[in-house]
Every structure is written in structure tokens, then in C-alpha cells.
A and B are shown apart, each in its own frame.
Chain A
Amino acid sequence: GEDVEQSLFLSVREGDSSVINCTYTDSSSTYLYWYKQEPGAGLQLLTYIFSNMDMKQDQRLTVLLNKKDKHLSLRIADTQTGDSAIYFCASGAGSYQLTFGKGTKLSVIP
């Protein structure tokens, strides 16, 4: 089946940039997503990118897509303690065909 891989942990200092990386196998993915999960909560969509785009910027978030290498990254500028959460990469062709990675736990050190 399709697979999405991401590192499990990332620790950064407050104010630094965070970069969370992800690789996926489904070359037919139309969309690539980043979801955020805070403790005790469900997943919340942060941002997504169409597969025909290379980059998308949304305030402090920058998504980079290398379709050739099937590599996706999420950069959070000026990381804050409120950004501490688990971040999930997902690939799919729409909301009903998502394949999730196992999540990267971001810890922000004050």
C-alpha cells in the first residue's frame, strides 16, 4: 500500500525555525497535507499544497514540495511554545483518500 514517512521527534528553541520533513510513495497524490494535533484533540488541517505546486506560504508556514523526490517539508518560522504538537503529513486525492504518516512530535524549548 501507499506509505508516508516522517521523523518522529523534533526539538527546537523558541524563536528558531522548525523544519519537518516527509516522504511519500503515491505518485498519483493530488494533494499533500499538513495536519496538527494538540494533546487530547483531533487533527486540524494546517495547510495543504496541490501536487503541481512547488511552494506555498501562509503567514509563518512555508510548504515545499519536491515532486520528483516525493519529498514534502513544513517550515514554521519564529516557532512559539504554542506550536508544540504532533504534525502529520498526509497524501491523497481528496479528503476521502488520505494516507497519514506517523506524525512528528515538535517540542519547543522556551
Chain B
Amino acid sequence: DAGVIQSPRHEVTEMGQEVTLRCKPISGHDYLFWYRQTMMRGLELLIYFNNNVPIDDSGMPEDRFSAKMPNASFSTLKIQPSEPRDSAVYFCATGDGLNTEAFFGQGTRLTVV
């Protein structure tokens, strides 16, 4: 397995634009997590899914953020409209719920100008 695959690796967009981040989980993993990493706040859990169903979205900062998992092999995190303070590295991670380890993708570095 190629691991957790995120795209794009880097995204630069103008304030007000819609941004969509993508994640392909490891096959067979039924937990998927979206994290945001900033210097100020460290690593924050935004939302996680189990079997494609959102379980806890209490970390989603605002209504401008939304996440979907239409099937077991794909998830998106959308920001609309984007703001400069959304600039961060966004990580997708997956796990099988039975194991102790969450496997991380390489992240998407988002810059909103």
C-alpha cells in the first residue's frame, strides 16, 4: 500500500476562494482524521470519520469548513471562503481502530494570501 495519499502537496490561493483538500486513506482503514498544524496551535483534530460517517466534528473551526467522505477510499476537506488565517498544513491520517497507530499523509501546505 502506498500509504495515506494527500493532494495537492501545496496550495496557494487568494482570500475568498474555495479550497478543496483531498485524501485517499490506506485500504481497509475505517477511521479517517483531518488535522491542522500551525506554529501557534500545534496539531489540532478537526474532524474524524468512522466507516465514512462523521463522528466528531467539534474541532472544525467555523462553518466555512466542511468535510465529506463519500466512500471508503476518498475524503475531502473544503474551505469556502478561505481566509489568510486558514494558512496551515493540513494532515489526513487513517487507522483501523484496532491498532494503536494512526498513519499520516504528507500533508497539504495551504497558503491563503
Contacts and interface: CB of A to CB of B under 8 A. Distances in A.
B77 interface: no
Contacts of A45: 101-103
Chain B interface residue count: which class?
20 to 34
A31 B100 contact: yes
Contacts, number: 53
Interface residues of A, number: 18
A96 B91 contact: no
8 contacts: A42-B4, A42-B91, A42-B93, A42-B106, A43-B91, A95-B93, A96-B33, A100-B42
Contact of B95 (A48, A95, A100): A95
B48 A94 contact: no
A102 to B, nearest CB: 4
B76 to A, nearest CB: 18
B43 interface: yes
A interface, over-half SS: loop
Nearest to B42: A102
B53 interface: no
Interface of B: 4, 31, 33, 41-43, 45, 48, 50, 55, 91, 93, 95-97, 99-107
Contacts of A101: 42
B101 to A, nearest CB: 5
Contact of B31 (A43, A48, A96, A100): A96
B51 to A, nearest CB: 12
Interface of A: 31, 33, 40-45, 48, 88, 94-96, 98, 100-103
Nearest to B29: A95
A95 B97 contact: yes
A43 B48 contact: no
